[in-house]
Chains A and B, each alone.
Chain A
Amino acid sequence: MNELVEITLRSLFVSGSATLLAALFGLPLGLWLGARARPQRLAASLLYAGMGLPPVVVGLFFYFLLSRSGPLGSLGLLYTVPGMILAESVLAFPLIAGFAMAGVAAKAEPVRRLVRSLGGSELQVHLTLLAESRRVVVAALAAGFGAVISEVGAVTLVGGDIRHATRVLTTAVVIETRKGELERAAALGAVLLGVTLLITAILVVFGEREAR
C-alpha cells in the first residue's frame, strides 16, 4: 500500500512538473502565435507535427543525451526524476503550445474588433484575449498533463523504472503485468485513471468559473 502511494505521488510530481515546465514556455508561445493577426504557418506546422512525437523516440533521444557518454552525461540525470521531467516536458510542450495557439486564434479577431471598436489599445486587445483564453489554457494544460501521465515509453527509457526511485504508475502497470500480477496491475491502472480524471476535472472546474 505504501509503495502504491509512493508511486502515485511520484507520477503526479513527474507529470505535474513536466506540464508546468512545458507550460512555462508553451503557453506564452501558443498565446503569442494565436494572437497574431497573420498566421505563422511554419510555426503552426511544427507544433502540430510535434503533437505526434512518439514518446519512445523522445525517450531514446534523451537517453543518448543524458547517458554517460552523451553531451549532457556529466549532469548525471539519466535514471533520475529530473531527467524524466525533462523528457516528459518535451512531449507536453507542443500539445500545450498547439492547443493554446488554436484556441486563441479562434477568438483573436472578434476580441480585437470588440476592444478596438470600444476605443481600446492593442495592449488591451492582448490582455482581454489572455483573460478570455482561460478555457483554452485549461484545455491545453489538461491535454499536456493527460499525455505525459499516461505515457510509458519515455519514462521507461529515461527513468529506467527503478523501484523506490523512478517507478511511476505506467511503468508499474507494465512490470506487474509482465510478472503475471494482473490484479495488482489492474489496481494500478484504476489509480492512474482516477488520478487523470480527477486532475482534469479540477482544471475544467477552474476554467469554467465566470468572472462576476
Chain B
Amino acid sequence: MIAAEGLEKRFPGFTLRVPALKAAPGEILAVLGPSGSGKSTLLMLLSGLLSPDGGTITREGPAVYLDQHPYLLERSVLENAAFGLRLKGVPRARAREVALFWLSRVGLKALAPRPARGLSGGERVRLALARALATEPKTLLLDEPTANLDPANVARVEALIREEKARGRAIVLVTHNLFQAKRLADRALFLLGGEVVEEGPAPSFFDSPEDPRTRAFLSGEMVW
C-alpha cells in the first residue's frame, strides 16, 4: 500500500499539489495528464527519489520506481536482473537463482548470459521489471512502461502488470495511453498543471467524469 496526504513539491514556476492519493494492495492507480503536469514528479516523490516540501507519504514495505527509460547496467541480462538483490546484500548465487526465476517470468531466461545493452525496447522494459520484481517490492511505481513499444510488447508488459496486481502489489501507473488506463486501472487520477483535477474509481472516472476538464481530456481534446 502507498498513500499520500497534502503532498506538495515546489519548483521555480511550478508547484505540484496532491491533497490525497492511495493505492491499496492488489490495486492499480492510473495517473493521467498531459506532459508537464507533474506525473513523473509525483512518482519520484512516492518512491523517495525526491523529497516533498510538504505533506506525508506512507509506504507499507518497499516501493520501487521504474523509469520511463530504464537504465541497464553494462553487464549481462542476468547480472542486471540480480542487481537489486546484490544491493541488498543477497549472496551472488542466491541472487542469480532468484533473478533467473524472474527472467523466466518475463520471458527473458534464454537471454540471461547476453549483454543487456543489446536488448530491444520491449526486452529492456521487461528486464527492468524483472530487476524490480526480484526485490519483492510491495509497491510498483511505473512511469510510462509501454511508451514506444509495439502492440505485442505492450500486451506482454500489461499481462505482467496484471499478474503482479493479482499477487497483491499496489501499483501506481503513469501513462499517456487512455486505453491502457481503462484496461488496467482500478482507480484513476487526472493531473493538470500540478493540480489534481479529479480522482476516483476507474468506472466512474472514465464513464461519467465530474470535472469538465477531465471530460475534455478523456474525449481527446487538447488540455494543458
Contacts and interface: CB of A to CB of B under 8 A. Distances in A.
Q: Which of A111, A113, A118 has the most CB of B within 10 A?
A: A118
A119 B76 contact: no
Contact of B49 (A111, A113, A132, A134): A113
B49 A117 contact: yes
B74 A113 contact: no
Given A118-B83, A119-B62, A212-B79, A110 B71 contact: yes
B67 A114 contact: yes
B84 A118 contact: yes
Interface string B100-120: 000000000000010100000
B149 to A, nearest CB: 19
B135 A212 contact: no
B87 interface: yes
B76 A212 contact: yes
A128 interface: yes
Interface string B129-172: 00110010000000000000000000000000000000000000
A153 B191 CA distance: 63
A211 B76 contact: yes
A211 B79 contact: yes
Interface in A157-206: none
A116 interface: yes
Nearest to B116: A210
B75 interface: yes
Nearest to B47: A117
A128 B84 contact: no
Nearest to A210: B115
Contacts, number: 58
A206 to B, nearest CB: 13
- Which range contains the number of B residues in contact with the other chain? 20 to 34
- Which range contains the number of A residues in contact with the other chain? 10 to 19
B94 to A, nearest CB: 16
B99 interface: no
B48 interface: yes
B113 A111 contact: no
B87 A117 contact: no
Contact of B74 (A114, A120, A135): A135
Nearest to B73: A132
B184 interface: no
Contacts of A134: 74
Contacts of A210: 74-76, 115
A114 B71 contact: yes
A166 B15 CA distance: 66
Nearest to B75: A211
A124 B89 CA distance: 11
A119 B135 contact: yes
A134 B64 CA distance: 27
A99 to B, nearest CB: 17
Contacts of B135: 118-119
Contact of A118 (B69, B76, B131): B131
B67 A132 contact: no
B150 to A, nearest CB: 24
A128 B76 CA distance: 15
A132 B49 CA distance: 21
Contacts of B49: 113, 116-117
A31 B70 CA distance: 23
A115 B73 CA distance: 11
Contact of B87 (A110, A115, A135): A115
B64 A118 contact: yes
A124 B87 contact: yes
Nearest to A128: B73
Q: Which of B65, B74, B88, B113 has the most CB of A within 10 A?
A: B74
A81 to B, nearest CB: 37
A133 to B, nearest CB: 9
10 contacts: A113-B49, A113-B65, A113-B67, A113-B71, A117-B49, A128-B73, A132-B73, A134-B74, A212-B75, A212-B79
Interface of A: 110-111, 113-120, 124, 128, 131-132, 134-135, 210-212
